[in-house]
Amino acid sequence: MKDLYLKQDATGLAAMVAKGDVTPDQLLDVALDLAGTLNPRLNAIVHLREDVARAAIRRGLPKGPFQGVPFLMKDLGAAAVEYPTNNGSKLTQGLVWGHDSEIFKRMRATGLVTFARTTSPEFGVGPVTESQVYGGPTRNPWNLDHTSGGSSGGSGASVAAGIVPAAHGSDGGGSVRIPASSCGLVGFKPTRARLPSGPVSGEGWGGMAIDGFLTRSLRDTAALLDAVRGADVGAPYWAPPMDGSFVQAMARPAGKLRVRFSTQTLTGSKVHSECAKAVDNTAKLLEGLGHQVEEFHLPDDLDADAMMFAWTRIVACGTALTVRGILGGKPLDPTLIEGVTRGAIRHAEQVSGADYLEAVNQIHAFGRRMAHIFDTCDVLITPTLAAPPAPVGLLKPDNEDFVDYRTGKGGVFDYSPFTAIFNASGQPAVSLPLHWSDAGLPVGVHLAMAFGDDERLMSLSAQIENAAPWAATQYSLISGGGIAG
């Protein structure tokens, strides 16, 4: 049974359940066994709720596209009454939600069998998952000395190791795409407001945050996005309507596209040679597929540095608001939060209401500048990260200078200079597992398109997956026990 489980993606497992070849209980048995074996070394799974999962199976699972497939939900947001959360923090350790979020209701309606949550940095801030509430870092199954990314780092590690074929994530500055790159997975960030964020909030981080998924196959991502997409009741705004579905888009030709690629950051800095190689190889692949491929020329007025400064202000204020809401007027015990969170709170205290609104305006102005880049091209290709997965501890969240942690030399934006750009612009972007370094570490390639162009991005991604499939490389890790070495 385990061999069958490990060879299938979520779509394949659901087909086996539908045909009666396996039962949901049998699949859950395998997932729990794998979690028990692998999680002590990965530190990726928390709040195990086997009782809730078994009870859902006994009641009868919804007849959705993923009926009976084991699933993990990120330990951040995605409110669900039956699944406690830490939100990555000792301050909210064991928090029990009083309501179900719309995204959880839609995931549940697919027939997924959620049995636990996955680790996250405190309140989702950071490209690594090393929260004190979990007693240690979450590690990358490709190399335990390296990070699995963040903020959906536990989901990335769990899927890459084979514990589940797909898991929930969220992305406010790259938090789906960063672990996708780090763990050799697919991570797709849809256009802003493509997915619901209710019922208790209309948006996250000034509209920059959105939910998503970590998967091994593109078809799983497409089907999951189709299952949860669409505005919920009372949404303050919504994404442009789609012509069809993500799954349908996979079967449609992408057409001849104007491809622009960059092996530099959008501030003109160099990236690691393995990341540059990943982009160069992808550009050659697309040229061979008939696309018009040219190097990207950075416009003088893009000013990504200004966007990053504004992004830092907005996230600091969002973090401070979260902590204030949790405390409800009570004094803060500073030992219950990470150094980065303490720094975010202090930074937010220096940001006035006018400063915050100015930061939002700067983000929107940057989005308009990014939009004009796609006047002369259809897709922009870069590395997902500026380097292969960082060693554990390199970006540990103990720096109490929040601005330095984000924008200082060797900080977050040096490591991840691409992903937050498309949270700011709201444009769709995806990280695809197209390269592994000489040291055996995954290196994602990042593709972005114009606002609302999700379907064409999915079509191009499917063309790439068909031309340069990655499943065999992923399976080499899973079939070897789920942890390299």
Q: Is 437 one of the catalytic residues?
A: no
Q: What is the dihedral of CA 363, 366, 372, 376, to 10 degrees?
A: -110
Residue 33: CB atoms within 10 A of its CB come to 14
C-alpha–C-alpha distance, residues 474 and 160, integer Å: 7
Are 440 and 185 contacting, i.e. CB atoms less than 8 angstroms apart? no
Q: Which among 148, 175, 197, 416 is annotated as catalytic? A: 175
C-alpha–C-alpha distance, residues 183 and 200, integer Å: 32
Q: Is 170 one of the catalytic residues?
A: no
Task: Write out the H or E segment, with its range, that includes residue 15.
Answer: helix 10-19
| Exposed / middle / buried, residue 456 (Cβ in 10 Å: 0-12, 13-18, 19+) | buried
26: helix, coil or strand? helix
Are 213 and 189 contacting, i.e. CB atoms less than 8 angstroms apart? no
154-163 burial by CB neighbour count: b if 16+ within 10 A, else e? bbbbbbbbbb
C-alpha–C-alpha distance, residues 23 and 197, integer Å: 32
Q: Is 262 one of the catalytic residues?
A: no
Q: Which among 89, 101, 131, 151 is annotated as catalytic? A: 151
The DSSP bridge pattern shows strands 143-147 and 70-74 to be unpaired
The DSSP bridge pattern shows strands 139-140 and 210-215 to be unpaired
Phi, psi of 189 (to 5 degrees): -100, 110
H-helix segments, 229-269: 246-250
C-alpha–C-alpha distance, residues 419 and 424, integer Å: 9
Q: Which residues are catalytic?
A: 74, 151, 175
